[in-house]
Structure 1
């Protein structure tokens, strides 16, 4: 595949400009798009010359393989020329189509251009390289697949005036052989992550600065949720465990923090949040979901099977999770932000579906899990995941990644656990309101936003005193 024609960010700003009715891109977003927009005509490997309503021309495409196995990724780059600005609301679509048996799969949102620089932003004279990493489902049964692309808005497709098409305003791209995967072959790998045992629990302050986290393995960067391609945002995770809790830390880069929900079990996925799904048995049954927003609000539920019961599982389930969040910016305004960090402690009892006694895993045990980030930008919802799913649904346990529980690292072996405060010491602030550190402004804001305070838990002032006392005891030991 040919390398895209890169423009400097300054030149890019002049090329992109602003389009009416479309929110401007941030500087970080413009930089991400810079590799895909040019004033220089490309030379596609395969030429097409399909013209849409005398506004946009599909020049051709590059393809990185002539055979596509079910479960694998195919990289394709579509090359577009803008003759006249298409106008607001037009979006690109991609369909994977088989005639025998009849199958159509939408893969419309894969790729940076699809997320950040769709036709509603294009201007006359621009050439756009629309690179996608497409995922062919593991259960694909046809011998071949044909790729179709085009522009649509609310069910209407921009008309094709010249070039190869299906007669229904879809430009016909390549037809690729799709040999069926054998019964003993693994169609597509999922990511793995070692979860290291810790001799000392991390302090939950939302920063991941506790030295305990240095022993944790960092996940691969999160990817685009369908194809596994480049995600529209940056995120990674760390996990630790001990005999009481599973600890999760997630760091997210986010240029606009939006989290207006304030109540437990609000629909956090409609704005910004992290979303965790755990399947301890790895069978797709009785799996658990926990979400935390940049405001520290929690949504938690469990399922008996994928999306069962509908619509949102057993929402009355309470995970007992303890969470701390540090936003790098101010929530729910239009000023640029930098992101946020979430730190969580999930008790093992949470993973007992019917309140039966629960035990921590043993060294060598494996779980299936997936980690997600939801992000509401100025004009659209976007997402990233640790393990790509192949379809537009997060509830695909068969595509969850694999967590392997390991023993403590050598430097921790033989260390005794420090003196612990009572289990009700967690930083849970009354009524789930924010506790702002005084005197800290804008991007350095440090907020501790926690779950509702349970009976017997200390108030906020007592929490800080308790943490100071714990630190003194640990230093003494």
Structure 2
């Protein structure tokens, strides 16, 4: 019995750590080299760009069966992505744009330019180079829904396969995806409508992978004896801590350096972002409190007890209940900015100047 308890506690501790660890960050460098979108990334700029960390299970605990990494570059016209995904059986069936691509194995990109968990973009692609691009005005947890008619106009993508597609008679090695997204579209939801040179956006990547079955030599998602699909695997760059990509506050940080690929650039996540993580923690607690008690928590010590410090500085959250919901705000001891989380998950920063 003690051994069972110890195993459970170790697992719980790992899960708790995964939920608390800081999001990952990546520096994307600016290239002057013309990038040909062919799925091969043979340009010198791509060779100089660094690979991301290995993808991990979405909760941040388990190591995936197959390795996945990404690279990023940018220029004045496009934001570029390149991924390599190891896979012994490469298959895809969906050919209609804006269908639910994650019913196949796929690669996904999530982008929130201003980091407010609102008006964010999602892009999915399978091994047939079929894409689904969509916009979410607000997250699903707040009743948001996908706007399928929204497109990343001018997006370019290509898939390269080391192996064969939809052929169960052999074993494949990997498939690569290369993508160019026009800034003209991406900056429509950015804070000032401009390319974030020497600034950061919140971005994350996901790879959905399914166990498969074969029928008449054709691949499909595996089903149990009752005809139910087995659950998919969700492998991500920056761990979410929960099985949900639609909590943008957990996404990684991508800093867009105007230096050339191969250069050196140090990026440190701003301290105000750590306050933002704290505010989203209070947001989730407030939602849970309301679900249990059918009313909002008041005063603030029902959500957080004792003194709260971030990087050695005291932070004092202030809770205000109003007619349509609530606000929780913190005056940053680092910048003097007022940071606010609303009942709908929207984040607002009021600059001190």
**TM tier, shorter chain?**
0.5 to 0.7
- 2:3 paired with 1:47: yes
Among 75, 86, 96, which residue is 1:253 paired with?
Answer: 86
**Counterparts in 2 of 1:317 and 1:410: CA distance versus 1, 3 Å:** closer
**What are the ranges of 5 or more consecutive residues in structure 1 without an aligned counterpart?**
1-43, 49-59, 67-74, 77-95, 97-131, 139-186, 413-477
1:409 to 256, 260, 270: 260
Contact 1:199–1:408 (8 Å) recurs in 2: no
Distance 1:355 1:188, change over 3 A: closer
1:286 aligned counterpart, secondary structure:
strand
Q: Is the 8 A contact 2:101 2:126 kept in 1?
A: yes
Q: Which residue does 1:282 correspond to in 2?
A: 115
CA distance in structure 1 between the aligned counterparts of 2:142 and 2:3, rounded to whole angstroms: 49
Q: How big is the shift at 1:223?
A: 0.4
Post-superposition Cα deviations, 1:62-100, rounded to whole Å, max 9, x if no partner, equal 47xx7xxxxxxxx53xxxxxxxxxxxxxxxxxxx7xxxx
Tell me which residue corresponds to 2:64. 231
Query: Residue in 1 aligned with 2:327?
Result: none
Determine if the alignment matches structure 1 residue 241 to structure 2 residue 92: no
Residue 344 of structure 1 is aligned with which of 133, 155, 179?
A: 179
Deviation string, structure 1 residues 351-394 (Cα, Å, up to 9, x no partner)? 2447999432222x110011011112223421200011111111
Deviation at 1:308, TM superposition (A): 7.5
Aligned equivalents of 2:44, 2:37: Cα separation in 1: 12
CA drift at 1:191: 0.4
Q: Match of 1:373?
A: 207
| Contact 1:225/1:389 (8 A) holds in 2 | yes
Would you say 1:212 and 2:45 are equivalent positions? yes
User: How far did 1:311 drift?
Assistant: 7.2
- Any conservation in 2 of the 1:196–1:217 contact (CA below 8 Å)? no
Residue 47 of structure 2 aligns to a residue whose secondary structure is helix
Residues 93-132 of structure 1 correspond to what in structure 2 (within 5 A)?
none
Residue 386 of structure 1: aligned partner: 237
Whole-Å separation in 2 of the counterparts to 1:407 and 1:356: 19
Determine which structure has greater relative contact order: mean sequence separation of CA pairs < 8 Å that are 6+ residues apart, divided by chain length.
Answer: 2
The 5-angstrom pairing of residues 32-431 of structure 1 reads 46-48=2-4, 61-62=6-7, 75-76=10-11, 133-135=14-16, 187-307=20-140, 312-320=145-153, 321-335=155-169, 336-353=171-188, 358-363=193-198, 365-378=199-212, 379=222, 380=230, 381-409=232-260
CA distance in 1, matches of 2:77, 2:129: 22
Residues 399/356 of structure 1: CA separation in 2 closer, same or farther (3 Å cut):
closer
Distance 2:192 2:115 in 1: 19
Q: Deviations over 1:28-81 (max 9, x none)?
A: xxxxxxxxxxxxxxxx9x534xxxxxxxxxxx7547xx7xxxxxxxx53xxxxx
How many residues are matched? 245
Q: Deviations over 1:293-323 (max 9, x none)?
A: 1111110001111128967511111113100
Q: Give the distance between the partners of 2:3 and 2:191, measured in 1 at CA.
A: 62
C-alpha displacement at 1:332, in angstroms?
2.5
Tell me how large the CA RMSD over aligned residues is. Answer: 2.9
CA 410–333 in structure 1, closer or farther in 2 if over 3 Å, else same: closer
TM-score by length of 1: 0.47
Larger radius of gyration: 1
TM-score scaled by structure 2? Answer: 0.63
Which whole-Å CA distance do the structure 1 matches of 2:133 and 2:142 have between them? 14
Please say if residues 273 and 293 of structure 1, whose CA atoms lie closer than 8 Å, have aligned partners that are also in contact. yes
Q: Is the 8 Å Cα contact of residues 295 and 325 (structure 1) preserved in structure 2? A: yes
Sort the Cα spacing of 1:136 and 1:206 in 2 relative to 1 into closer, same or farther, 3 A: same
1:47 is paired with a residue whose SS is: helix
Contact kept in structure 2, 1:301 and 1:312, CA below 8 Å? no
- How far 1:222 moved relative to its partner? 0.5
- Conservation of the 8 A alpha-carbon contact between 2:29 and 2:73: yes
CA pair 404-374 structure 1, distance change in 2 beyond 3 A: same
Partner SS state of residue 184, structure 2: helix
Q: Secondary structure at the match of 1:134?
A: helix
C-alpha spacing 1:133/1:200, structure 2 compared with 1 (3 Å): same
